[in-house]
Protein backbone atom coordinates (compact mmCIF):
# COMPACT_ATOMS: atom_id res chain seq x y z
CA UNK A 1 0.00 0.00 0.00
CA UNK A 2 0.87 3.68 0.00
CA UNK A 3 1.56 5.81 3.06
CA UNK A 4 2.29 9.53 2.86
CA UNK A 5 3.19 11.97 5.63
CA UNK A 6 3.26 15.75 5.50
CA UNK A 7 3.22 18.43 8.19
CA UNK A 8 -0.30 19.70 8.80
CA UNK A 9 0.41 23.42 8.92
CA UNK A 10 3.22 25.86 8.24
CA UNK A 11 3.52 29.62 8.50
CA UNK A 12 6.02 31.84 6.71
CA UNK A 13 6.60 35.49 5.96
CA UNK A 14 6.11 37.21 2.65
CA UNK A 15 9.36 37.29 0.69
CA UNK A 16 10.88 34.38 2.60
CA UNK A 17 11.65 30.79 1.57
CA UNK A 18 9.70 27.80 2.86
CA UNK A 19 10.31 24.07 2.50
CA UNK A 20 7.39 21.62 2.71
CA UNK A 21 8.43 18.04 3.32
CA UNK A 22 6.78 14.80 2.30
CA UNK A 23 7.81 11.29 3.25
CA UNK A 24 6.29 8.27 1.61
CA UNK A 25 6.23 4.51 1.72
CA UNK A 26 5.12 2.71 -1.37
CA UNK A 27 5.27 -0.83 -2.70
CA UNK A 28 6.42 0.36 -6.12
CA UNK A 29 7.67 3.81 -7.04
CA UNK A 30 6.26 5.63 -10.06
CA UNK A 31 7.14 9.19 -9.28
CA UNK A 32 5.80 11.82 -6.93
CA UNK A 33 3.45 14.71 -7.61
CA UNK A 34 2.89 18.02 -5.84
CA UNK A 35 -0.43 19.83 -6.20
CA UNK A 36 -1.55 23.23 -4.92
CA UNK A 37 -5.07 23.77 -3.61
CA UNK A 38 -6.41 27.19 -2.71
CA UNK A 39 -9.27 27.28 -0.23
CA UNK A 40 -12.54 26.38 -1.90
CA UNK A 41 -10.89 25.43 -5.17
CA UNK A 42 -9.75 22.25 -6.89
CA UNK A 43 -6.13 21.06 -6.71
CA UNK A 44 -3.85 22.05 -9.57
CA UNK A 45 -0.63 20.39 -10.69
CA UNK A 46 2.68 21.89 -9.58
CA UNK A 47 5.40 19.34 -10.22
CA UNK A 48 6.32 15.74 -10.92
CA UNK A 49 9.58 14.05 -9.92
CA UNK A 50 10.59 10.55 -10.90
CA UNK A 51 14.39 10.84 -10.71
CA UNK A 52 16.49 11.92 -7.75
CA UNK A 53 17.41 15.56 -7.54
CA UNK A 54 15.99 19.02 -7.76
CA UNK A 55 13.57 20.24 -10.42
CA UNK A 56 13.27 24.00 -10.63
CA UNK A 57 10.31 25.82 -12.08
CA UNK A 58 10.33 29.54 -11.42
CA UNK A 59 9.80 30.29 -7.74
CA UNK A 60 8.90 26.67 -7.05
CA UNK A 61 11.32 23.75 -6.89
CA UNK A 62 10.74 20.11 -6.00
CA UNK A 63 13.29 17.65 -4.72
CA UNK A 64 13.22 13.87 -4.60
CA UNK A 65 15.33 11.22 -2.87
CA UNK A 66 14.05 7.77 -3.75
CA UNK A 67 16.42 5.99 -1.37
CA UNK A 68 15.08 8.01 1.55
CA UNK A 69 11.44 8.03 0.47
CA UNK A 70 11.52 11.78 0.75
CA UNK A 71 10.52 14.82 -1.23
CA UNK A 72 10.21 18.50 -0.56
CA UNK A 73 8.63 21.48 -2.24
CA UNK A 74 10.63 24.70 -1.99
CA UNK A 75 8.84 28.00 -2.43
CA UNK A 76 11.00 31.10 -2.83
CA UNK A 77 10.11 34.79 -2.64
CA UNK A 78 6.84 33.96 -0.97
CA UNK A 79 3.79 35.92 -1.96
CA UNK A 80 0.48 36.23 -0.18
CA UNK A 81 -1.18 34.30 -3.00
CA UNK A 82 0.98 31.27 -2.12
CA UNK A 83 -1.23 30.72 0.94
CA UNK A 84 -2.81 27.38 0.10
CA UNK A 85 -2.67 23.69 0.84
CA UNK A 86 0.12 21.71 -0.79
CA UNK A 87 -0.61 18.07 -1.49
CA UNK A 88 1.94 15.33 -2.05
CA UNK A 89 0.75 12.34 -4.11
CA UNK A 90 2.25 9.05 -5.26
CA UNK A 91 0.75 6.92 -8.04
CA UNK A 92 0.63 3.15 -8.23
CA UNK A 93 1.77 1.21 -11.28
CA UNK A 94 -1.80 1.38 -12.52
CA UNK A 95 -1.88 5.14 -12.20
CA UNK A 96 -4.07 5.49 -9.12
CA UNK A 97 -2.77 8.38 -6.98
CA UNK A 98 -2.80 8.34 -3.20
CA UNK A 99 -2.67 11.78 -1.62
CA UNK A 100 -1.22 12.96 1.65
CA UNK A 101 -3.45 15.01 3.93
CA UNK A 102 -1.82 18.19 2.67
CA UNK A 103 0.15 20.99 4.30
CA UNK A 104 -1.69 24.26 4.84
CA UNK A 105 0.71 27.14 4.27
CA UNK A 106 -0.13 30.57 5.62
CA UNK A 107 1.94 33.48 4.31
CA UNK A 108 1.95 36.52 6.57
CA UNK A 109 2.92 40.08 5.65
Partner 1 sequence: GAGVSQSPSNKVTEKGKDVELRCDPISGHTALYWYRQSLGQGLEFLIYFQGNSAPDKSGLPSDRFSAERTGGSVSTLTIQRTQQEDSAVYLCASSLGGPNEKLFFGSGTQLSVL
25 lies in the binding site for partner 1 (CB under 8 A): no
26-to-33, 49, 89, 93, 94 alpha-carbon distances in Å:
14, 15, 11, 11, 13
Q: Going by DSSP bridges, is the β-strand pair 9-13/103-108 parallel, antiparallel, or unpaired?
A: parallel
| Max Cα–Cα distance, the chain, nearest Å | 43
* Contact letters for partner 1, residues 70-89 (x by CB under 8 A): -----------------x-x
Stretch of residues binding partner 1 (CB under 8 A), selected from 11-19, 40-48, 59-67, 72-80: 40-48
Nearest to 64 by CA among 50, 75, 74: 50
96 lies in the binding site for partner 1 (CB under 8 A): yes
List 17, 50, 54, 80, residue binding partner 1 (CB under 8 A): 50
Q: Could you list the residues that contact partner 1 (CB under 8 A)?
A: 30-31, 33, 35, 41-45, 48, 50, 87, 89, 91-102, 104
Amino acid sequence: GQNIDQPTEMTATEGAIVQINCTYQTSGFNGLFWYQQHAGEAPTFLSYNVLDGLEEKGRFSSFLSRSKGYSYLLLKELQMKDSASYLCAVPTNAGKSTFGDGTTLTVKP
